[in-house]
Homo-oligomer: A and B are copies of this chain.
Amino acid sequence: MNTVAIIGTGLIGASFGLALKQAGFDGSIIGVSSERALADAVSAGAIDRGASLAEAVSEADLVFLSQTIGRILDTLRHLDPLVRPGALVTDAGSTKTAIVDEARQFLRRCQFLGGHPMAGKEMRGAAAADATLFQDRIWVLTPDEPAELDTAAARNFRHWLERIGARIVILDSEEHDRTVALTSHLAQLASTALASTVADQAGVNSVKVAGSGLTDMTRLALSPYDLWRDILATNTEHIDRALSRYIQKLEHVRENLRTRQLQDEFARAADLAARLRRPI
């Protein structure tokens, strides 16, 4: 692997560039982004230079799509005539089925392997980039077939993921999307809906007497809609099902406020919460 093209040099893209360099990658890292984002990424030391999409991907052995989901889908539609034959194209999109389907349809001259690094932080942009962002964090890969992991390009990519400290988990894209609907997307919507419900009723007193529990439960609600629009649009069915299960559970809780049934729910919930807190 001599040349990496990072398409979208925000927090994730720039952190990937920094992480590669810190792990000893001494090839060339080319960024494709807005002029301002490229300047930030260069000054963060995350990329060597900026270029157009056509120029960057004509040279790259690895093309890393770290844009929003909507833009990844758009890039995939234009990429095939531009890439170097035999290159590996991968991505960092938070939902996988729509992206993997699109890649299957449009990419012919190169290999695609879907990915989702489970890492992030509150701040956005290359200025917040961090070479250790992926250290000890899960990086999901979603091959259609296990053999896709064993091409020379994929082995090389996996080798670098290990070098930057990521923990690779293999899921098919459908299972990925079903799982994150429950563990990530439902959690977001539960937080947003809770904050919005409190806002509907809130007088000054509600805010005054709110304790740290509500503060915890509304941290995710600070996330802006523009980060979520594409996720909700590309994982609607799984999210719909997860919300439906959550609503059923809340109805069950509501019907059992005074019965011992609730003790079972508390025990079940505390057990899961404790499991989430054990090291991976």
A interface residues with partner B (beta carbon < 8 Å): 118, 120, 138, 140, 169, 171, 175-176, 179-180, 182-184, 186-203, 205-211, 213-225, 228-229, 232-233, 236, 239-240, 242-247, 249-251, 253-254, 257-258, 262-263, 265-277, 280
Q: Which residues of B contact A201 (CB under 8 A)?
A: 182, 245
Which residues from chain B contact A218 at a C-beta distance below 8 Å?
269, 272-273, 276
Q: Which residue of B lies closest to A252 (CB)?
A: B193
Whether A183 contacts B209 by the Cβ 8 Å rule is yes
Give the dominant DSSP class at A's interface.
Answer: helix
CA distance A258 to B228 in the complex (A): 11
B267 and A225 contacting across the interface, CB-CB below 8 Å: yes
Structural contact, A205 and B262, CB atoms closer than 8 A: no
In angstroms, how far is the closest chain B Cβ from the Cβ of A215?
5
Contacts of A118 in B (CB 8 A): 209, 211
7 A–B pairs (Cβ distance < 8 Å), ordered by A: A169-B209, A179-B205, A196-B268, A199-B271, A202-B272, A240-B254, A246-B250
Q: How far is the CA of A203 from the CA of B236 in the complex (A)?
A: 21
Complex Cα–Cα for A208 and B201 (A):
37
Is A195's CB under 8 angstroms from B240's CB? no
